[in-house]
Structure 1
Amino acid sequence: MVALAPANSLTQVGIGNFSTEAGAEIPGATIAYRRFGEFQGNAYSNNVILVEHALTGDTCVDSWWDGLVGPGKALDTERFCVIVTNALGGCHGSTGPSSEHPDGNRWGSRFPALSIRDLVHAEKAFLERLGIYHVHAIIGGSMGGARALEWSLLFPTITDAVCVIAVSARASAWQIGIQSAQISAITRDPDWHEGDYYGVCDGPITGMVAARKLAHLTYRGEMEMDERFGTIAQQGENPLGAFRRPDQRFAVESYLDYQALKLVERFDAGSFVILTEALNRHDVGRDRGGLNKALYSSRVPTMLVGVDTDILYPFHQQEHLSRNLGNLLGLHKLVSPVGHDAFLTETRQMDRILRMFINKINDGAEPTDGFGHDPEGEWTI
Structure 2
Amino acid sequence: MDRETRYEDSHVSIGSFVLESGEELPHVELAYERVGPSDAPVILVCHALTGNQFTIGEDEPGWWKGLIGKGKYVDTSEFQIVTFNVLGGCNGSTGPCSINPTTGLAYQADFPFISVRDMVHSQKQALEQLGIHHLHAVIGGSLGGMQVLEWGILYPECMDHLVPLAVTPSLSAYGIAYNSISRFAITKDPEWKEGYYNLEKPPAAGLATARMIGMISYRTDDMFQKKFGRKVKGNPGESHTETTYDVESYLHYQGNKLVGRFDANSYLYLLKAMDMHDISRGRDSIAKAAKLIQPNVLAISFKGDLIYPPHELEKMFSLESMAHFYIVDTKFGHDGFLVEFDKWGPLIKQQLKETLKI
Tell me the secondary structure at the aligned position of residue 23 of structure 1: coil
Equivalence for 1:116: 116
* Map 1:98-137 → 2, pairs under 5 A: 98-102=97-101, 103-137=103-137
List alignment gaps of at least 5 residues for structure 1: 1-5, 41-45, 364-381
Match of 1:244 among 221, 240, 243: 240
Equivalence for 2:59: none
What's the offset of the Cα at 1:11?
Answer: 0.7
Equivalence for 2:352: 358
Tell me the secondary structure at the aligned position of residue 318 of structure 2: helix
* Map 1:182-331 → 2, pairs under 5 A: 182-199=182-199, 201-233=200-232, 235=233, 237-241=234-238, 243-245=239-241, 247-324=242-319, 326-331=320-325
Equivalence for 2:63: 64
Q: Deviations over 1:314-340 (max 9, x none)?
A: 11122222225x453311121111111
Quick one: which amino acid aligns to residue 271 of structure 1? S
Tell me the secondary structure at the aligned position of residue 277 of structure 1: helix
What's the offset of the Cα at 1:35?
Answer: 0.6
Q: How many residues align?
A: 347
Rounded to whole Å, the distance in 2 between the matches of 1:188 and 1:328 is 47
Rounded to whole Å, the distance in 1 between the matches of 2:45 and 2:177 is 28
Quick one: which amino acid aligns to residue 281 of structure 1? M
CA RMSD of aligned residues (A): 1.6
Rounded to whole Å, the distance in 2 between the matches of 1:287 and 1:167 is 20
Q: Deviations over 1:109-160 (max 9, x none)?
A: 1101111101001101111111221111110111111101100000111111
The answer to whether the 8 Å contact 1:166/1:343 transfers is yes
Rounded to whole Å, the distance in 2 between the matches of 1:132 and 1:170 is 29
Percent of aligned pairs sharing the same letter: 38
Q: Deviations over 1:8-31 (max 9, x none)?
A: 332111111111111122111100
List alignment gaps of at least 5 residues for structure 2: 57-61
Equivalence for 1:11: 10
* Map 1:360-375 → 2, pairs under 5 A: 360-362=354-356
Deviates more, 1:157-166 or 1:128-137: 128-137
Change (3 A) 1:115 1:226: same
What's the offset of the Cα at 1:296?
Answer: 2.4
What's the offset of the Cα at 1:300?
Answer: 2.0
Rounded to whole Å, the distance in 2 between the matches of 1:156 and 1:293 is 14
Rounded to whole Å, the distance in 1 between the matches of 2:38 and 2:41 is 7
Rounded to whole Å, the distance in 2 between the matches of 1:20 and 1:271 is 16
Rounded to whole Å, the distance in 1 between the matches of 2:322 and 2:137 is 15
Deviates more, 1:295-304 or 1:282-291: 295-304
Rounded to whole Å, the distance in 2 between the matches of 1:29 and 1:361 is 34
Rounded to whole Å, the distance in 2 between the matches of 1:58 and 1:356 is 26
What's the offset of the Cα at 1:240?
Answer: 2.4
The alignment status of 1:138 with 2:138, answered yes or no, reads: yes
Rounded to whole Å, the distance in 1 between the matches of 2:273 and 2:109 is 16
The answer to whether the 8 Å contact 1:298/1:327 transfers is no
What's the offset of the Cα at 1:219?
Answer: 0.9
Equivalence for 2:342: 348
Tell me the secondary structure at the aligned position of residue 358 of structure 1: helix
Equivalence for 2:150: 150
